Each structure stands twice: as C-alpha cells, then as structure tokens.
Amino acid sequence: MSNIQDMRATYNDTLIELAAADERIVVLEADLMKASGTVPFRDKYPDRSFDMGVAEANMAGVAAGLSSVGKIPFAASFTPFASRKTYDQFFISANYARLNVKLVGTDPGVTAAFNGGTHMSFEDGGLMRNIPKLTVFEPCDNISLAALIRKSAAHEGCTYMRLHRKGGQIIHEKNTEFELGKGIVLKDGSDITLIAIGFVMVPEALKAAEELEKEGISAAVIDMHTVKPVDRELIVKYARKTGAFVTCENHQVVNFLGSAVAEVLAEEYPALLGRIGIQDEFGQVGTLEFLKKDYGLTAEDIAAEAREVLKKKK
C-alpha cells in the first residue's frame, strides 16, 4: 500500500497527460494548489494553471468563462468550498449556461479529519446531484480515478468529482473499463448487495462482505462511482438477484448514493434497503478511524446493517 501514490498525485499526473495531448485542458485552484497536488502541473504548464486565491465563487465563474472560449477547466477546492461557496456560480455561469467545467471537491466527508466540521462536507454530493444534467462521481482508487478523470475530460458538459487526496489504494483490476454512469461489480453474491462509493467506503464494503461470507451470507459488492446518472440497470439486476441492499457512503444518506438507490428501487423493483452513511449530523474533528467509528461507517457497521436488512427479508 505504501508504494501507491497519493490520489492527488494521480489527479495531477492524469491532468498533465491529458494536457500534453489537449491544449484545452487548464487547471484552477483557490489557494489549495499544494493540497490538491497540482503544483507539478503548474510547473509544467505555467500558462495553463491559475491560482485564484481564496475566492472560490470567482474561481467557478472564471472557469465558466474559460470554458466559454473553448477551454476544459478543472477547478478544485475542499468539498465544502467547492460546493457550498460556488453553488450559484457553478449552477448558473457553468451548468445553466451549458458549459464544460470540471469541478473537483477534495477531502470528502470524514477525510477532512483534523480540519473538522467547517471543512467536513457531508452534503456536497447532494447539492451537486440537484443540478440538472450534471454528472457526479467519486472514484475509490487510483485506477478508477485516472480512468474517470479521462472520461470526465472527454464528456461534453459539467462534472463534479469528489476526490480523496491523501493516500492511495488499488481496488480495481488494471484493465477495467470504466464509464461514467456504469457501476462495477467487485464481488458477486446472492443474498444481499452492498453498493458503495468512494475511497473510504468501498474497502469497508469489501471487508463487510468477507465477514458476512464467514456467516454463510453471500454479499455482492458494487462500486457505484457515479451517483448521477446512477446505473439503474445494475441496481434492478441486483434487486432481482438479491432483493436486499445496503448502501455505503461517506456522505449524508440523504440525496446522494442512498437516496439514488432508494429512488430506483421504489420506482423499478421494490427491495429491502439499509443505508450506511451520515445520519443527519454535522462534521467534527478527529482521526479518520475515530470518525468512521463515530458516524458508523466501518465494515462492522455495514455487516450489522446487512444482518438487520436480511432479518426483514425472512
């Protein structure tokens, strides 16, 4: 694990590769260039990197302006500032104007750790999910991150990505084909389906599935990296197959992954559902381990929820 680069380094490297082939790629930061990891991009392409200072609303508007003259801007800040502080600018100047801005929120949810409640966003994905036509996704490892950044760049229209910054991990096979809006089955199963998203929760879901196997419960695990548009087909397929779900997200259970899955099930194929995630709480300081335990985001919490859901199945 230690020789895997930080997710932010993969973000930076992928943007440099894209920029070499496509002169439209530009990068914006709001005094968090070091945090987002795009200093090497700036050093390589000083004319295509813009540090806008601590002014996220302006950054979103400037990104929209760059897009309006043909650029493909990637603009990043911590999740609460990339979302709450830019909401109307990103909504109107970028999305309503049908432009092509790639907004990135870093340190999603509990990974804000010692920065605490002011920097800990459990609602950014939900805000973004409310914007018409916007594509919203959260990669869980370095492989899907690199692939999905490329998909985002190629996608005509705005996207919002939740980006885990520090640390890296490999979950997907190297040659996996990724597509925005298409979930990936990491492990098949027949009793219950664990649908997870992001760097923190996908590994917890995999661990929970292992636990459950020991008890004779066959749990499928899906990496649902894109919440909007969500992969309806895959959800329905596993509703038919398992009839029971637990969603796992480092976000409020409202209006992000848990809601998206609940909506599809209610409309297409009613099935039992438990939702692991933040239950109507604000953020707070603490280590990642403390926060995962405190908000109930661990593999044990997921396995326990799966058992509860399965009780109702009988």
Partner 1 sequence: MDDQTLRELKDTARRIRILTIDQIGYLGVGHIGGALSIIEVLTILYYRHMHIDPKNPGMKDRDQLVLSKGHAGPALYSVLAHRGYFPEEWLHTLNIGGTRLPSHADMVRTPGIDMTAGSLGQGLSTAVGKALGHRVDGINSKVFVIIGDGESNEGQVWEAAMSASHFKLNNIIAFTDYNKMQIDGYTQDIMDLDDLNAKWVGFGWNVLRVDGHSFPALDRAITKAKRETCRPSMIIMDTIKGKGAFFAEGKLSNHNMPFDYDTAKEAIARLEREAEREKAAAEKTPGGEK
- Four-CA torsion 10, 11, 12, 18, nearest 10 degrees: 100
Establish if 157 lies at the interface with partner 1 (CB under 8 A): no
User: Are 72 and 24 a contacting pair, CB within 8 Å?
Assistant: yes
User: In angstroms, rounded to a whole number, what is the distance separating the alpha carbons of residues 167 and 260?
Assistant: 28
Nearest by Cα to 225 from 110, 123, 148, 165: 148
Region binding partner 1 by CB under 8 A among candidate stretches 65-73, 120-128, 210-218, 239-247? 65-73
User: In angstroms, rounded to a whole number, what is the distance separating the alpha carbons of residues 110 and 119?
Assistant: 9
Tell me, what amino acid is at 167?
Answer: G
- 254: helix, coil or strand? coil
Region binding partner 1 by CB under 8 A among candidate stretches 90-98, 140-148, 232-240, 278-286? 90-98
Residue 105 in tokens: 């929120």
- Quick one: CA dihedral 39, 45, 47, 49, positive or negative? negative
Q: Which is nearer to partner 1, 64 or 227 (CB)?
A: 64
Establish if 66 lies at the interface with partner 1 (CB under 8 A): yes
Per-residue x/- track, 91-120, partner 1 (CB under 8 A): -xx--xxx----------------------
Region binding partner 1 by CB under 8 A among candidate stretches 50-58, 115-123, 164-172, 182-190? 50-58
CA distances from 34 to 42, 110, 148, 156 (A): 10, 20, 22, 28
The gap from C-alpha 221 to its chain's centroid, in whole angstroms, comes to 16
Task: Work out which of 5, 20, 34, 53 binds partner 1, going by CB under 8 A.
Answer: 53
Establish if 156 lies at the interface with partner 1 (CB under 8 A): no
Task: Work out which of 11, 15, 48, 303 binds partner 1, going by CB under 8 A.
Answer: 48
Establish if 88 lies at the interface with partner 1 (CB under 8 A): yes
Q: Which long-range CB contacts under 8 A does 207-210 form with residues at least 24 apart?
A: 207/299, 207/302, 208/246, 208/248, 208/299, 208/300, 208/302, 208/303, 208/306
Q: Which is nearer to partner 1, 73 or 189 (CB)?
A: 73
The gap from C-alpha 184 to its chain's centroid, in whole angstroms, comes to 14
Region binding partner 1 by CB under 8 A among candidate stretches 55-63, 151-159, 205-213, 219-227? 55-63
Least gap, CB of 75 to partner 1 (angstroms): 10
Least gap, CB of 20 to partner 1 (angstroms): 15
Establish if 89 lies at the interface with partner 1 (CB under 8 A): yes
Q: Which is nearer to partner 1, 96 or 269 (CB)?
A: 96
**Cβ neighbours of residue 56 closer than 8 Å, sequence gap 6 or more:** 30, 77, 81, 82, 85, 86
Q: Which is nearer to partner 1, 20 or 170 (CB)?
A: 20
The gap from C-alpha 299 to its chain's centroid, in whole angstroms, comes to 19
Least gap, CB of 63 to partner 1 (angstroms): 6
Establish if 57 lies at the interface with partner 1 (CB under 8 A): yes
Least gap, CB of 112 to partner 1 (angstroms): 24
For 113, which DSSP code? G
- Four-CA torsion 305, 306, 310, 312, nearest 10 degrees: 20
Bridge partners, residue 273, by sequence: 245
Q: Which is nearer to partner 1, 58 or 115 (CB)?
A: 58
Per-residue x/- track, 2-31, partner 1 (CB under 8 A): ------------------------x-----
What is the contact surface with partner 1 in residues (CB under 8 A)? 26, 47-48, 50, 52-53, 55, 57-58, 60-71, 73, 88-89, 92-93, 96-98
